[in-house]
Structure 1
Amino acid sequence: MVSIQHHGAVQGVTGSCHQMTLSSGEALLVDCGMFQGAESAGRELDEEFGEKQIDFPLDNIKALVVTHCHIDHVGRIPFLLAAGFNGPIYATQATAHLLPLVIEDAIKVGVSRDKDLINKVLQRLQQLLKPIPYDQWFVVDGLPKTRGRFRVAGHIMGSAYVEFDAQGERVLFSGDLGAPHSPLLPAPKSPYKADIVVIESTYGDKLHEGRKKRRQLLKSVIERCLKDRGTVLIPAFSIGRTQELLYELEEIIHRATKRSNAKQQEKAETQSPWETIDVIVDSPLAAKFTAHYRDLKHLWDAEAQKKLADNRHPLSFDQLITIDSHQQHMKLVQHLKDSGRPSIVIAASGMCAGGRIQNHLKALLPDSRTEVLFVGYQAKGTPGRDIQTYGPRGGYVFLDNERIDIRAGIFTISGYSAHADQANLVSFVKRIYKKPSEVRVVHGDEEAKAALVKKLQAIVPGAKVWVPHE
């Protein structure tokens, strides 16, 4: 029988890293993610490579399998390489395409801007990467008679859940599962069978708004800002959420413009404000990912493909503006602060823990014309969680050790999280035809894990459904 250990994402929602070990002693890792927010506290410093993130032995670990390239699933890969890992790194073709960009940015933000160091890590990463198509079994080097397969997870481009056949057992690691009906990406489909399932629980105690409702919420928040002549700030991770938001904004603008044109034909004098609003992506990394998303459009879902056939460009429309240099960024921040020009600004980081969004927040949070719209999970200990918690009460937040009073409107739309909600997670397990005998619930706050365990116990009676620890 296989055994499973967890080196992250069991005390919270970040740092995903799971070890599957055969009875012979050989092992593989599934993901190697960075800890974020309060979950990163108390980690020792390593003189050679920043924080000491690899605190488990690597002697028997023969391979790394990556489910997708969000930082909380891949951010410790540079530390893994520095610690001596020398095995293959398996990923879907799209993830292998995007991963070097994520790793380069992670090193620049968290470790060093030394170009030689960055290039060495990226060169080593490229040497070890093994891109694998979806739905194709592959043999895991170094693990006797062990094979794996990536299946569409619908979370971000290239995301997958992974199945292993090992020692007569089918073991499934969910990675992060996407919600059905999300923009751009096809929904995940459950496998035929699984003996052991390791499943995420980010929203294990919550239900998302439906897509139609959340698009209406997005539209109404932005229209409120248009009325107040203020800026909508949307903290969003550079990969996945930014592209989904652009897709939805293009749809809102398209519909508003269509209605406005119809009214103009009826000699109406007013023009829809949606026709003139700027949609600003203030992140070079997000711009690069968006370009890659366009290159990977063969992976888009049927709805997105139809828009392309209709000569629409959901990730490259007329009102989209990209800010590249730091100088342009600072000029934009000052311009928005001084002018109050109605704009939509999408900037990283998604939890407000760094990046360009912090400069926007420092300048615009005290302005009552501003709206801050959270579209993804905010981990405990992050500025995003503090703004989300204390902002509606007229509180404050510390950014770069500076107290910033919050007079902006604060909104949250959970449906754009790109994560499956409780109903989606339960459905994923329910639709496994040959049910598992064990389900491990990870990657969630305590309340979310407990709620999901209770729901899953009703779906797989007799199975061991539990929350593991490191």
Structure 2
Amino acid sequence: MYKKNELKKIIGMILAELTPRNVHVTRIEFEGPEIAIYIRNPDIIARHPEVAKDIAKKLKKRIVIRTDPSVRKSKKETEELIKQLVPPEAGIKGIEFDDVLGEVIVKAEKVGLVYGKGRSIYNKVLAETGWRLTAVRFPPVDPKELDTVNKILHYTLEQSSYRLNFLRAAGERIHRGVIFENRYVRVTALGGFMEVGRSAILVETSESRVLLDVGINPGFNDYRMYPRLDIEQLRLDELDAVVITHAHLDHVGLAPYLFKYGYRGPVYVTKPTRDLMILQLLDLLDIAHRSNQKPPYTQLEVKKMLLHTITLDYGEVTDIAPDIKLTFYNAGHILGSAMAHLHIGEGLHNIVYTGDFKFGRTRLLDKADSEFPRVETLIMESTYGDRDQPRRDLAELELISAISRTIARGGKVLIPAMAVGRSQEILLVLTDAFNRKLLPDVKVYIDGSIPEVTAIHLSYPELLSSKVRSKILQGENPFYHENMVKVKNKQMREDIAKSNEPAVIIATSGMLNGGPSVEYLRLLASDPKNSLIFVGYQAKGTLGRRILDGEREVTMIGENGKLELIKINMEVKYIEGFSGHSDRRQLLAFLANMKPKPKNIILNHGEPQAIYSLAESIRRKAQNLGLGQEVRVFTPGILESLYLTGIV
């Protein structure tokens, strides 16, 4: 049941604002979280862009101005005008049109030059052609490395009509108005509590249902691999939204599964998370196929999920349900990672879910945000809640030293690394070490989806650290050195392993639970001259964790498809300090700096020892952290629920 009068009220307010300004409105549509206003005279909006901002401010809604198809100029004329206006140094790589939404998408190396100073080119194109200009950054790299990004763009354009119908259906649901007066807020732990992996949290009110993350646990192959989506209160037809905080598989790996069983609502992410998660999910399916495993969904569901994905920028307040607004904040974990702030009701309750976050600067990213409009409940990750990590600069020196020792004895270094985040950090460290002559002149082989992921990083320089961003905008690739070589096929992989030349190999996956790193391990493990260096967290149950815990004989699938017993004779080393997670010191510093202070803290994403240790530290230091003695710290397990409005 929708409150149609609520929608009519919004339309009336918009017309009351635009009619006196002589804006010719042809129709108003609710398209997902945005209200789309279709007009016949875009020149007025181009001259007075503050009009849309004024309406958005008054309604407290996201507004987008679209032109009526009848007033748009031909694609040929529009393309010619854009090429006349945009300077050649912008590096235009292609121009495409979205006929349904009235957008012209310009792929270019420098997006700022496409929009023009003060968005002058944007406004001129809108006024003269009726097409809304959207610039997408395509960095100057091997086109193959942008293959996934190109496919995402092309597929969404091909399916633009479907996407518009979805947005309008979602829009009516989002803007329907509040029906129930008996209001409550409840969170239920579905995965990632008292464990690391399969993160999933259900947030319920009397009006809405929102799912925060839907991941998998890479360390298991049984029921523990997936979050508990089988509970009674999680009905997919009643689910209003799915919010994904970042593109690691333990937070997004099961999201397409929802579409296999009937979910047709929105999935909210940042732009980089959209690109990275599609790449990660397709890579997961490819690994499963090559390993003769049957994943819980197919490419069809990944594509369906893409069409239902809505991207948001940091700090952009967005309605995702009649009584819930979502705002993303920088989490500092990986590119595009976000903390999710949920504003529920008219001041009823505010939740901050950190997802994975890093409250400390790295070479790659700035530290996580710590200031929010309002917070009553904080759901905080606790991966390293029981320990402090070494300083990042000391960790870098330790890595360089370990590589140098291995190279000196004629060995090879295998660094299993997550394709997203950790690989780019290591590339930055090695590039800098080569430039400063801290490493001998050896080849660094890069295998798996790392090059594609790195290209996506180059597409979003504004979200990277100031030093990296500056280099990219000056035309440099900070992730590349002439010693770095991309591995193109399995034969090349075997040739590298069998070669007598020392080398460094960075390969996915980071926990040795699939991907090329496992093949390298099989080929390199027996030689004591070689080294296996872990630079990231190894989840319980993964091959990486077993080796780290001391296992030195492992069974693997050999070249002929049969099981082989592999002896780990190579040196095994774990270098802490590269993690994208906050350690205990940083977690407590985040709480000390957080404004405003939460009344409730719910700890998740950590093994029991880490969570209990952090909970005790928070309770003991509450006053020093500025939390006050009344703060409540909760450590729930899977399937436990908390009624937040009943405990405030």
TM-score, normalization: structure 1? Answer: 0.87
- Partner of 2:362, secondary structure, is coil
Distance 1:163 1:88 in 2: 17
Cα deviation digits, residues 208-258 of structure 1 (max 9, x gap): 11121011101100110111110111111111111110011111111117x
Larger Rg: 2
Using the alignment, how far apart are the partners of 2:540 and 2:614 within structure 1? Answer: 19
The answer to whether structure 1 residue 16 and structure 2 residue 194 are counterparts is no
Distance 1:382 1:368 in 2: 23
Q: Which residue of 2 aligns with 1:468?
A: 636
Of 314, 329, 336, the residue aligned with 1:134 is: 314
- Asked whether 1:158 is paired with 2:336, we answer yes
Q: 2:580 matched to 1:418? A: yes
Distance 2:272 2:340 in 1: 15
Contact kept in structure 1, 2:217 and 2:224, CA below 8 Å: no
Secondary structure of the 1:390 match is: coil
Q: Report deviation, 1:119.
A: 4.4
Give SS of 2:435's match: helix
Distance 2:285 2:408 in 1: 41
Encode CA deviations 1:284-310: one digit per residue, 9 max, x unaligned: x11110111112222211122344477
* Counterpart residue number, 2:17: none
Aligned to 1:212: 393
Give 1:164-175 correspondences, 5 Å limit: 164-167=342-345, 168-175=348-355
Tell me the SS of whatever aligns to 1:415. coil
Indicate the residue corresponding to 1:398 in structure 2: 555
**Which of residues 498, 510, 514 is equivalent to 1:334?**
498
Q: What secondary structure sits across from 2:390 in the alignment?
A: coil
1:399–1:178 CA distance, 2 compared to 1 (3 A) = farther
Which among 23, 30, 34 is matched to residue 212 of structure 2? 30
Q: 1:320 aligns with which of 474, 484, 487?
A: 484
Once the 2 structures are TM-superposed, how far is the Cα of residue 11 of structure 1 from its aligned partner? 3.6
SS of the residue corresponding to residue 436 of structure 2 reads: helix
Which SS does the other structure have where 2:214 is aligned?
Answer: coil
Q: Is the 8 A contact 2:194 2:636 kept in 1?
A: no
- Is residue 237 from structure 1 mapped to residue 418 from structure 2 by the alignment? yes
The aligned residue for residue 190 of structure 2 is 7
Equivalent position of 1:349 in the other structure: 509
Within a 5 Å distance, the mapping from 1:199-278 to structure 2 comes to: 199-256=380-437, 274=440, 276-278=441-443
User: CA contact under 8 A between 1:135 and 1:150: conserved in structure 2?
Assistant: yes
Deviations 1:11-60 (A, max 9, x none): 41000011100133x2100110012214x43459xxxxxx8974233242
2:539 aligned with 1:379, yes or no? yes
Task: Report the Cα distance in structure 2 between the residues aligned to 1:437 and 1:197, rounded to whole angstroms.
Answer: 8
Distance 2:570 2:472 in 1: 37
Instruction: Tell me, in whole angstroms, the C-alpha distance in 1 between the residues paired with 2:286 and 2:525.
Output: 27
The 3-state SS of whatever aligns with 2:240 is: strand
Distance 2:525 2:359 in 1: 31
The share of aligned pairs that are identical, in percent, is 28
Inter-partner Cα distance in structure 2 for 1:352 and 1:184: 24
Per-residue deviation at 1:72? 0.3
One-letter identity of the residue aligned with 1:305: R
Q: For 1:361 and 1:109, how far apart are their aligned partners in 2? A: 16
Distance 1:187 1:13 in 2: 22
* Shift of residue 345, structure 1, vs aligned partner: 0.5
Residue 467 of structure 2 is aligned to residue 303 of structure 1? yes
C-alpha spacing 1:326/1:179, structure 2 compared with 1 (3 Å): farther
Task: After TM superposition, list the pairs within 5 Å mapping 1:446-465 onto structure 2.
Answer: 446-457=608-619, 458-459=621-622, 460=627, 461-465=629-633
* Structure 1 residue runs without a partner (length 5+): 45-50, 258-272
State the AA in 2 paired with 1:93: K
1:365 aligns with 2:525: yes
Show structure 2 runs of 5+ residues with no match. Answer: 1-183, 558-562, 640-648
| Residue aligned with 1:31, SS | strand
Q: Deviation of residue 126 (structure 1)?
A: 2.1
Whole-angstrom CA distance in 2 between matches of 1:432 and 1:171: 13
Separation of aligned partners in 2, 1:147 and 1:186: 25
1:266 match: none
Once residues 219 and 294 of structure 1 are traced to their aligned partners in structure 2, the CA distance between those partners, rounded to angstroms, is: 25
Paired with 1:159 and 1:402, the residues of 2 have a C-alpha distance of 39
Deviates more, 1:395-404 or 1:92-101: 395-404
**CA–CA separation in structure 1 for the residues paired with 2:598 and 2:338:** 19
**Matches of 2:455 and 2:484 in 1, distance apart?**
13
| 268, 271, 275: which one aligns with 1:90 | 268
Distance in 2 (alpha carbons) for counterparts of 1:346 and 1:362 = 15
After TM superposition, give the deviation of residue 127 of structure 1 in Å. Answer: 1.4
Aligned mates of 2:414, 2:474 — CA distance in 1:
30
In the other structure, the counterpart of 1:55 is 230
User: May I ask how many residue pairs the two structures share in their alignment?
Assistant: 435
Deviates more, 1:177-186 or 1:214-223: 177-186
Distance 1:462 1:434 in 2: 15
Alignment RMSD (CA, Å)? 2.2
CA contact (8 A) 1:54 1:80 kept: no
Residue 445 of structure 2 is aligned to residue 280 of structure 1: yes
Offset of residue 108 of structure 1: 2.6
Q: Cα offset for 1:447?
A: 0.7
What is the alpha-carbon distance in structure 1 between the residues aligned to residue 287 and residue 256 of structure 2? 13
What SS does the aligned partner of 1:37 have?
coil
